[in-house]
Amino acid sequence: MDKKIKKVVLAYSGGLDTSVMIPWLKENYGCEVIAFAADLGQGEELDHLNEKAIETGAIKIYIEDLREEFLKEYVWPTLKAGAVYEGKYLLGTSFARPLIAKKQVEIALKEGADAVAHGATGKGNDQVRFELGYMALNPELKIIAPWKDDKWTLTSREAAIDYAKERKIPLEQTKEKIYSRDRNLWHISHEGGDLENPYNEPKDNIFMLSKTIEEAPDKPTYIEIGFEKGEPVSIDGEKLGAVELMDKLNKIGGENAIGQIDMVENRLVGMKSRGVYETPGGTILYYAHNELERLCLDKETLHYKELISKKYAEIVYNGTWFTPLRESLDAFVNVTQETVTGTVKLKLYKGNIVLAGTKSDYSLYSEEIASFADTELYDQKDANGFIRLFGLPLKVRAMLKNKKK
């Protein structure tokens, strides 16, 4: 089977794992390698990536700016669904993988490649996310996952660093500085090294997008987020495109130490892992969106949406993005968001977000009804009959218990 692979498209980041995979694929499969790097907002990480890939042995490299598509087609739907994995993780790495897989498959078709490859390990979630994407979009493509390949002998990051040095591949990682990071417009994750012991507090110098709580300003920052049909569209009244809005929120949130998450999570493959995440702008958006929904959604819709948000998070986390269930849940969520339009005012202070006000033309809150006085719409005496009916099952049960005594 190996001899049939002539050309492979590799999901390439320029980091340790994918850097060593270009020469490894050539040495072990005798194939041509096309590198593909998705610009999802990694910033300077993409600098000199073109030269590095070619010098390392790739015949070609694609670097595509996918930032807007990433936010509008993957991040915003997840935000609108209110999806949070295990109560803390805002899915920053998770929803980037289906998009990368999709573009990989498109490039493979364009270039006549017969295989796709990724650098995810056999212990992580990303292997599943990538490979389910490939399978859903082009099941004819062969999948090469070096970490799970019998030929792969670089079973630690230390071994990979030695392999890279032997082939003169430039790396930022060293055996002393060995965190595994994933960065995009939404977040940055930190794993490995001393973080593998969950009792170790993250060192202050680990943070790249945000200040520490101690460094944050000693006075609060107020901010107003505008939404249209559940999607963020403005900051402090200024209309902004998706990418510009996210960049600005990350700077504001990072300055105030917002969105630093340290958690032990349950991976899809069955083990627990510890990650430290920075999601400054995303944390602000989730908080604001939730508060606006409280104002604009009726009770039953809001409560049911809370039920499906957990399932949506599992779909994103598990990599089952390209499925009828996710599309069906999107259809439901989009209907709920028709009236989620308005403005949320927040106070940011040393890692905390405090609600400072919400307003919307679709607000279901009525000062008249909420007041203690009787109104034409609400007569307090009506509650007597309501409570008698609502509590009837409890009353009947108590009568039965008393009869048996």
By annotation, the residues acting in catalysis are 17, 97, 126, 180
- Is position 12 annotated in a ligand binding site? yes
- Is position 226 annotated in a ligand binding site? no
- Is position 43 annotated in a ligand binding site? no
- Is position 262 annotated in a ligand binding site? no
- Is position 17 annotated in a ligand binding site? yes
- Is position 180 annotated in a ligand binding site? yes
Using alpha carbons, select from 149, 66, 146 the residue that is nearest to residue 104: 66
CB contact at 8 A, 95 and 78: yes
- Is position 388 annotated in a ligand binding site? no
For residue 143, the cross-strand partners are 116
SS3 149: coil
Using alpha carbons, select from 2, 16, 10, 54 the residue that is nearest to residue 35: 10
Residue 256 DSSP one-character state: T
SS3 216: coil
CB contact at 8 A, 8 and 117: yes
What is the Cα–Cα distance from 79 to 95, expressed in whole angstroms? 11
- Is position 16 annotated in a ligand binding site? yes
- Is position 174 annotated in a ligand binding site? no
Alpha helix segments (H runs only) across 14-172: 16-29, 49-56, 67-70, 76-81, 96-111, 126-137, 157-166
What is the Cα–Cα distance from 290 to 295, expressed in whole angstroms? 9
What is the Cα–Cα distance from 331 to 84, expressed in whole angstroms? 19
- Is position 126 annotated in a ligand binding site? yes
- Is position 112 annotated in a ligand binding site? no
CB contact at 8 A, 262 and 276: yes
- Is position 15 annotated in a ligand binding site? yes
Instruction: Give every CB contact of residue 370 below 8 A, 6+ residues apart in sequence.
Output: none
- Is position 237 annotated in a ligand binding site? no
- Is position 371 annotated in a ligand binding site? no
- Is position 19 annotated in a ligand binding site? yes
What is the Cα–Cα distance from 64 to 104, expressed in whole angstroms? 11
Binding-site residue numbers are 11-19, 38, 89, 94, 119, 121, 125-126, 129, 180, 189, 265, 277
Binding-site residue numbers for L-citrulline are 89, 94, 125, 129, 180, 189, 265, 277
Binding-site residue numbers for L-aspartate are 121, 125-126
Binding-site residue numbers for ATP are 11-19, 38, 119
